[in-house]
Structure 1
Amino acid sequence: MKKLNGTGVALVTPFKKDGKIDFNGLEKLVKYVLDNNVDYLVALGTTSETTTLKQEEKWEIIKCIQNSNYKKLPLILGIGGNNTENVIKEVNSIKNLSDFYAILSVSPYYNTPSQEGIYQHFKSIVNHTEANIILYNVPKRTGSNIIPDTVLRLSFDFKNIIGIKEASGNVLQSYKILERKKENFSVISGDDYTILPVILGGGEGVISVIAQGFPDKISNMISLAKKNDVKKAFSIFYDIMNIIDLIYEEGNPTGIKTFLDVIGICNPYVRLPLVNGTPSLRKKILHSLNKINQ
């Protein structure tokens, strides 16, 4: 199996003002990133507000993304949770699992398992499915960190664990995995700030939030980094660094949805307990965009 290289996009779920899903907005977003050189799509990750989506809405979103993608790019599907049995049930409820390159599964949150608990959680999932699994480590959201030794143990013990989305924000942690991993295991930056250091250390690319706003820029930046054109890659990063700051200022996906609204892709609405971006955030994003486009 080929490794997941380059730019993966963590797609938002556009909503209408009344809170219903805006499928036209989702189609427009998928078309926009398809036309701008991204490498794969991630459906139902954290950025898509999965925790506030009903099961039938999730099926509709998957169908909409598949139809808009026309089988052009690999699709990754987010299925994770802190109840191991439920995660297994949800993975096994996917009718056409072969349509998806892999399942992106977050480390169990809230109950803060030990490293052995994390290992057993993923072991249990792998033993109950044929799907490829990408681990997702995001300690600031889950309350626990998957340490490099646990990641490496899982990757060597189970061939269907094919990679990790590493979003600890700790580049050294990525390097400790990269130094000792097997060749066909992918280390993917899960953080827009660490894309370049992870790639320059031997990582495969990114599952990015900002890439749906700047798909061409992020794809170009990654391509330059992989060719070792470090100066040009960083010049793109510095150009958009302020916008990356801004899209996280009021939380994710509030910030990226505000940005997507500003550039005319989809509405800015989110579901409670998230709230819409402030006029002040919108103004700052517009100001930064104008500077970039000058």
Structure 2
Amino acid sequence: MKSLIGTGVALVTPFKADGSVDHEALARIVEFQIDGNIDYLVVLGTTGEPATLTSEEKEAVIKTIVSANTGRLPLVLGVGGNNTASIVNELKSRDFSAFTAILSVSPYYNKPTQEGIYQHFKAIAQVSPVPVILYNVPGRTASNMLPATVLKLAKEFKNIIGIKEAAGDIVQAMKLIQGKPDGFLVISGDDMVTLPMVLAGGSGVISVIAEGFPALFSEMVRLGLQRRVDEAYELHYKIADAIDMIFEQGNPAGIKEVFKSLGLSTNVVRLPLVSADADLANRLDSFTKKLQSQVSEKAI
């Protein structure tokens, strides 16, 4: 799956002031990613607030992104949850013709054992009409998908082609990279450790910060993949402060402040999330405008 090596972004769902989905802003954001040389787009991941979207809104978001993309970039659809049978039914009934793969999160809240996680993804792999990227994010799911479980799935099911690894544990990521079968993608799910993971043999990132600064972050990943270490770290440290800030009061509140600063969308999120406070909003606005200015001066 070479088309999924590099930088993917987890798209937000922008809202209008009244809380309704802003489809015009969503189309602008898709275009902004393409202009910034992003490699692929992830639709209805956690950053897209799917937990607070109705079924009708989700379908409309998918339609808008597919239409705005016009086949230019690969699309990955978030299809996951903690009800295995429900996911299996969706995989059997949904049209995946516009999508390259699905991203499926390890079951949350239920806290299954490693055997339960294995059986969950086995059921998904057996019916999915497109390749599957696993998603391990213990901070949200309350359970860690261990390397042994991931590698067992990777070796037994050819259509499980990668993992978005967001445990925040570089040693765990290195164990995955060391033990993975050829072609299996170990994708960073943590923006701050993306470059170390790439340099250790990872395949790239599914990023939040890249959505706000696509040209810089995607170039950093490309330089990392090319082993141009010093140049890659120069870009990493330009963006690093913003990575901390966008997650300071929850995702996607932070990245939506960046979009507000860029004039792409509002900063509105849906409850139970709330927008960033004034202090964080001001700091993100200042950082964004300063970085824009630096990039513009360099271009001149």
Q: Shorter-chain TM-score category?
A: over 0.9
Quote the residue 1:70 is aligned against.
Answer: 70
Residue 214 of structure 1 corresponds to: 213
Q: Which letter does structure 1 place at the counterpart of 2:209?
A: I
Q: CA deviation at 1:136?
A: 0.2
Letter in 1 for 2:52: T
RMSD: 1.1
What is aligned with 1:183? 182
Q: Which residue of 2 aligns with 1:154?
A: 153
CA distance in 2, matches of 1:143, 1:258: 28
> Normalising by the residue count of structure 2, what TM-score does the alignment of the two structures yield?
0.95
SS, match of residue 41 in structure 1? strand
Residue identity in the other structure for 1:248: F
CA distance in 1: counterparts of 2:284 and 2:110, whole angstroms:
36
State how far apart, in whole Å, the 2-side matches of 1:266 and 1:290 are.
Answer: 16
Letter in 2 for 1:23: H
Q: Which string of whole-angstrom CA distances, capped at 9 and with x for unpartnered residues, describes residues 207-229 of structure 1?
A: 00011100000111011111211
**Gap regions ≥5 residues in structure 2:** 295-300
The one-letter amino acid of 2:76's match is: I
SS of 2:161's equivalent in the other structure is: strand
CA distance in 2, matches of 1:239, 1:146: 32
In structure 2, what residue type is equivalent to 1:141?
Answer: R
Asked whether 1:55 is paired with 2:55, we answer yes
Structure 2: which amino acid aligns with 1:165?
A: K
Greater shift, 6-15 or 82-91, is seen at: 82-91
Q: Deviations over 1:86-112 (max 9, x none)?
A: 1112222312x1321111000000010
Letter in 1 for 2:107: P
Q: TM-score, normalised by structure 1?
A: 0.97
Paired residues for 1:242-281 under 5 Å: 242-281=241-280
Taking the aligned partners of 1:266 and 1:3, their CA distance within structure 2 comes to 28
In 2: Cα distance, 1:271 partner to 1:169 partner: 26
Distance in 2, matches of 1:254 and 1:91, equals 30
Aligned residues: 293
Secondary structure at the counterpart of residue 162 of structure 1: strand
Are the aligned partners of 2:3 and 2:39 in contact in 1 as well (CA < 8 Å)? no
**How many Å apart are 1:131 and its aligned residue?**
2.0
Q: Is the CA contact (8 Å cut-off) linking 1:154 and 1:161 kept in structure 2?
A: yes
Asked if 1:86 is matched to 2:59, the reply is no
Using the alignment, how far apart are the partners of 1:158 and 1:280 within structure 2? 48
- In 2, are the aligned partners of 1:3 and 1:184 still within 8 Å (CA)? no
Amino acid at match of 1:182: P
Is the 8 Å Cα contact of residues 106 and 136 (structure 2) preserved in structure 1? yes
Q: Which has the higher helix share?
A: 2
What amino acid is the match of 2:21?
I
Unaligned runs of 5+ in 1: none
8 Å CA contact retained: 1:189, 1:195? yes
Aligned-pair distance for 1:289?
2.9
Q: What's 1:282 paired with?
A: 281
**Which residue of structure 1 aligns with residue 14 of structure 2?**
14
**1:63-84 CA distances to partner (integer Å, 9 max, x unpaired)?**
1000100100100000100010
Cα drift, residue 139 of structure 1 = 0.2
1:98 aligned counterpart, secondary structure: coil
SS at match of 1:163: strand
Q: Deviations over 1:160-214 (max 9, x none)?
A: 1000000001011110010011111100001101110110011110000011100
Take 1:28 and 1:290, find their aligned partners in 2: how far apart are those partners? Answer: 19
Q: Which residue of 2 aligns with 1:30?
A: 30
8 Å contact kept, 1:3–1:185: no
- Aligned runs of 1:37-48 on 2, under 5 Å? 37-48=37-48
Question: Does the 8 A contact of 1:3 with 1:186 survive in 2?
Answer: no
> Which string of whole-angstrom CA distances, capped at 9 and with x for unpartnered residues, describes residues 12-59 of structure 1?
000011111000000000000111100000000000001001111111
Q: SS at 2:191's partner residue?
A: coil
1:132 paired residue number: 131
- Is 2:104 the partner of 1:105? yes
In 2, Cα distance between equivalents of 1:128 and 1:68: 29
What is the distance in 2 between the residues matched to 1:236 and 1:108?
Answer: 35
